[in-house]
A and B are shown apart, each in its own frame.
Chain A
Amino acid sequence: MSAPAIPVPAAVEARAPGEVRRGGWIIRITVAVIVVLWLVPTLGVLITSFRPEDLVVSSGWWTALAHPFRAAEWTLENYSAALDAAGFGNAFMNSLAVAIPSTVIPITIAAFAAYAFSWMDFRGRYVMFVAVVGLLVVPLQMALIPILRLYADGATLFGLRIFPDLELNGTFLGVWLAHTGFGLPLATYLLRNYIGSLPSSIIESAKIDGADHFTIFWRLIIPLSVPALAAFAIFQFLWVWNDLLVAYVFLGGSRQNQVLTMALRNLLGGRGEDWQVLTAAAFISMSLPLVVFFSLQRYFVRGLTAGAVKG
């Protein structure tokens, strides 16, 4: 993407050449204020997860801040209750087994499609792409029953079997495909936007060098798209990791197949008022996505494409 030529106004203030104006105090304060606002709700949850039950139901969590050093204010029993949840280890593995392929497969498929929508010319590409994006609006719940039926029995039209009877309900493969299907519109949308904004000069020079689309895609576009791929990987992983409904419908809720969200949800029982345990469970469940976020977010660096333009 080459920035359009922008007419720059005449000098408003004298500035030493080459000086890069980085964060001043105003910026730091603004950032800090927004961060604090965002953090306060989560802080409430964090504090609640460390408080004993009788305190949680009888006083607001901010009162704990008034006496932070009183031992009776804090406890680890919520975390141990959550971790002791029946089948926690198995549920964790199940969640991983669902989340990792459900992240990687859609990215792969979407990257190919996004490249085609951006840089290949074929009939109906606009309509097809807009249709793909339009599918973002399909509510998940409307798709569950038809797909589950498809998984269990296949489909026939006028007596001719057009979809085989695969018995995919209750299998991991079924969940991966479902997550792929539900995640493709957003993936394609995001990746197409990014890939389409890469400098056309790169593609052109590669074509001149004789590369075909596949090679361009594999050797050039993918490395350049790492920030977008990383961004989408984070979102998809998060969404799948925190998802309850899709896993429950397609994988089932039996003890063996439960994912982590299900196991933690069942901790509550039918009561929904055990806030201290739920907050602990929420934090435990949050830990892995955060690790993923931290490790992938170093791909968000400036200059990935700048180098490509020069190189």
Chain B
Amino acid sequence: MRRFRLVVLPAVLLFVAAACAGDGDDGGGGDGGLENTGNVNVLSSGDPGEAEAYNAIIDDLINSQTDYVAEIEASGEAEQQFQIRAQAGTLDVYLLPQPGTVAQLARSGNLSSLEDMGFDIAELEALFGEYFVSLGEVDGQHYGLPTNINLKSMVWYPKDDFDAAGYEVPATWDEMLALSDQIVADGGTPWCVGIESEAATGWPATDWIEDIMLRTAGLEVYTQWYKHEIPFNDPAVLTAAQTFGDVMFHEGYVLGGPENIPALAFGEAPLPLFDDPPGCWLHRQASFIPAFFPKGVKDGVDYDWFPLPPIDQEGTLFAGELAVVGTGGNRPEVKDFLDRFMGEEVQCAFGGEPASSRISPNINVGADCYVNEILADSAAVLTEALANGTGGFDASDLMPAAVGTGSFWTGMVDYMRDGPNSIKGILDEIEASWPTE
């Protein structure tokens, strides 16, 4: 027993000594009233190559004029990294692509609210629209700043072959199905669908169903859906899922067959569009997919896109980013950076960067800011949708993580594998997995 005390006593003394030495060095930086550290770190799940270009713009327009240095840090590990930093309190800013998790994170006390940082919510709503800003609202406080937006309701097609075959861009859903039948009759296969994406396998199928849901049930029911005011196995959802299934499981519609959809990487799925003759003719995917097209194909010549047609009503599906600030990020230079970052000057400069895939949610940024034709057209569609109230944010990104990045995805994989009759049971399962608050 004495030996034990002999060990503990020196150990405690050592720690005390080190603690005194440590505090002395630091000069007492406390938790409240965080000071300017001269660094702003912005974590992003985007493409690191693009981030290089953005950092050059930031260096030019922001860092050169301020007393701090801001850097966008983009990596594939960002989502996990964000969790770790947020919980440890070392996060500055993260460009969060899944606003649905804001609620969970805010409630666990790991985020700083915009009000605490000194942002004027009314000003933000004027800049981004009330809908977008409200996506980051939790218990009366706002936690997310819109920083990016992209269009999802797009159908890509091989323009040159399409026109040569005499096909026409459909204006309604039924016309699109008729076009598919015609392609089949001509001996081709209309659709390419692939949903494999490592641990995220299944997400493109959720986009399909969301797009359809907007067009069959309308924005109001859609909102009730992701807010869980109606259950996941509600008849409206079932209808949308079955409409999706009608296209996928239709004989001869999907290249490779529906059972292979979960095995096909989403990035490889559009490639047969560019075969000669095209292996498939229609590919529904978001605005970033041209990055996966073969090198050398030209937009407007080799490929083009048309908006996914309405069914019972119009609908526009979009997704985007909310910038969230960690508890350690409540500092003056972080606020200053965010103010400049979301301002017109920087946002327009991003649009003028050829490597960029970002569209600004700032309504003052005109479509002429975009060097990339596709982005410009998408921006036009998005602004209109937001103005008319027909734009819906990607629902799976708004649901709690256990569903939105969990059971919804795996449910889609099961749907493709088990066939059209499995959808009722799958929706029941997803509903059961919704976390109880």
Contact = CB atoms under 8 A, between A and B. Distances in A.
Direct contact between A and B judged by beta carbons closer than 8 A: yes
Interface stretch (A18-26, A100-108, A164-172): A164-172
Interface string B73-98: 11111000101110111100000000
The 3 A-B pairs with the shortest beta carbon distances in the complex, nearest first, are A164-B22, A148-B88, A266-B48
A271 interface: yes
Contacts of A262: 75
Nearest to B24: A164
Contacts of A301: none
Chain B at the A interface: mostly helix, strand, loop or mixed?
Answer: helix
A255 B72 CA distance: 9
21 contacts: A144-B88, A145-B88, A148-B88, A148-B90, A149-B88, A149-B89, A162-B15, A165-B22, A165-B23, A165-B26, A253-B73, A253-B77, A253-B81, A255-B71, A266-B48, A269-B48, A270-B47, A270-B76, A271-B267, A271-B291, A271-B292
Interface of A: 86, 123, 144-145, 148-149, 151-154, 161-167, 169, 244-245, 248-249, 252-255, 262, 265-273
Interface string B35-49: 000000100011111
A266 B74 contact: yes
Interface string B202-213: 000000000000
B265 interface: yes
A273 B73 contact: no
A255 B63 CA distance: 15
Contacts of A254: 41, 71, 73
Interface in B1-31: 3, 15, 18-19, 21-23, 26, 29, 31
B84 A270 contact: no
Contacts of B29: 165
A123 B15 contact: no
Given A86-B52, A271-B292, A148 B74 contact: no
Nearest to B43: A253
Contact of A273 (B48, B74, B77, B267): B267
Interface in B351-405: none
A166 B22 contact: yes
B268 interface: yes
B89 A153 contact: yes
B47 A152 contact: no
Contact of B265 (A86, A154, A273): A273
Contact of A123 (B3, B19, B74, B83): B3
A248 B81 contact: yes
Given A270-B76, A271-B292, A273-B268, A145 B84 contact: yes
A268 B29 CA distance: 39
A53 to B, nearest CB: 8
B272 to A, nearest CB: 12
A144 B84 contact: yes
Contacts of A166: 22
Contacts of A144: 84, 88
Interface of B: 3, 15, 18-19, 21-23, 26, 29, 31, 41, 45-50, 52, 55, 71, 73-77, 81, 83-85, 87-90, 198, 265, 267-268, 291-292, 328
A116 to B, nearest CB: 13
A266 B90 CA distance: 22
Given A123-B3, A153-B89, A269-B49, A164 B74 contact: no
A265 B76 contact: yes
Nearest to A162: B15
A268 B76 contact: yes
A164 B23 contact: yes
A207 B47 CA distance: 63
Contacts of B85: 148
Contacts of B31: 153
A152 B76 contact: no
Contacts of A165: 22-23, 26, 29
B28 to A, nearest CB: 9
B10 to A, nearest CB: 15
A253 B87 CA distance: 17
Contacts of B89: 149, 152-153
A149 B268 contact: no
Given A145-B87, A164-B23, A169-B90, A272 B198 contact: yes
Contacts of A164: 15, 18-19, 21-23
A154 B22 contact: yes
Contacts of B265: 273
Contacts of B88: 144-145, 148-149, 151-152, 169
B46 to A, nearest CB: 7
A273 B19 CA distance: 49
Contacts of B73: 252-254
A166 B29 CA distance: 11
B253 to A, nearest CB: 25
Nearest to A122: B3
A149 B71 contact: no
Nearest to B88: A148
Given A154-B22, A164-B18, A148 B84 contact: yes
A265 B268 contact: no
A249 B18 contact: no
A252 B322 CA distance: 22
Contacts of B50: 269
Residue with the highest number of chain A CB atoms closer than 10 Å, among B22, B41, B75, B265: B75
A265 B75 contact: yes
A248 B15 CA distance: 28
Contact of B45 (A153, A266, A270): A270
Contacts of A272: 76, 198, 267
A249 B71 contact: no
Contact of A245 (B26, B45, B77, B87): B77
A162 B14 CA distance: 11
Nearest to B47: A269
Contacts of B291: 271
A86 B50 CA distance: 12
A249 B75 CA distance: 13
